[in-house]
Structure 1
């Protein structure tokens, strides 16, 4: 009798597990379909975005981006940067003080810069303060 009851209990557990597996399989199918639908929507969205980017890229390639004066200003800027590299190089390497921290009287070049700032309507540069 005990064996028969144990057998019935095992069969009940088996039936319950089979029902759980069936439910789980159905849930997995539904989730899989939802994931597939989401991925298709994302793929379509990405394709649309890619097409829009390509259209914009083609539109931008067809016309000049800057006014010629901008190129001239850019060239003068980089020329001034290259000219000032030797002045700033030792400071940036930590070998000398800041180039504008001169302990002596202002040099002629700093005077010219100050005068040029006045001509162009720029405010005067702040004076360096002792640390």
Structure 2
């Protein structure tokens, strides 16, 4: 009886050893994968920190640029003078435009008060000639 059990037992022992060998291989693979994941997590953390630092630096640079563009809140003197003259000109021309916009008068540039222009005037002053009025089609 013992001899009949011996070949069966030998088969089981071989299968057992095969299973243990495969188990050891799988454990090695799992350990390798675990180490690989640890390395990937570490690299991801480093990339994340680098990106955070880069974003912070970019935000600071943008803030500096914005502050520089705003200046000290004081416009440059020549720009302030131009702006003042512009608004004075606008205020002076309001009455003429007001009549036109309300439909009570002619276009401010069409009036008889405007002296006839010579063709050479625009060239003499270094400006392009005024466009000719268009006719309705």
1:121 aligns with 2:116: yes
TM-score by length of 2: 0.52
In structure 2, relative to structure 1, the CA distance for the partners of 1:69 and 1:38 (3 Å cut) is: closer
* Partner Cα distance (2:54, 2:32) in 1: 33
TM-score by length of 1: 0.54
For structure 2, the 5+ residue unaligned runs are 1-20, 118-131
Give the count of matched residue pairs.
Answer: 97
Equivalent position to 1:56, from 75, 78, 100: 75
In structure 2, relative to structure 1, the CA distance for the partners of 1:38 and 1:69 (3 Å cut) is: closer
Runs of 4+ in structure 1 deviating by more than 6 angstroms, as ranges, are 122-125
Pairing 1:27-106 to 2, within 5 Å after superposition: 27-51=47-71, 54-56=73-75, 60=80, 64-66=84-86, 71-84=91-104
**Cα deviation, residue 68, structure 1:** 5.7
Higher relative contact order (CA 8 A, sep 6+): 1
Let me know the Cα RMSD of the aligned residues. 3.8
For residue 55 of structure 1, give the secondary structure of its aligned residue in structure 2.
Answer: coil
1:12-42 Cα distance to aligned partner (Å, 9 max, x none):
1111111111111111111211111111111
Tell which structure's C-alpha radius of gyration is larger.
2
For structure 1, the 5+ residue unaligned runs are 86-112
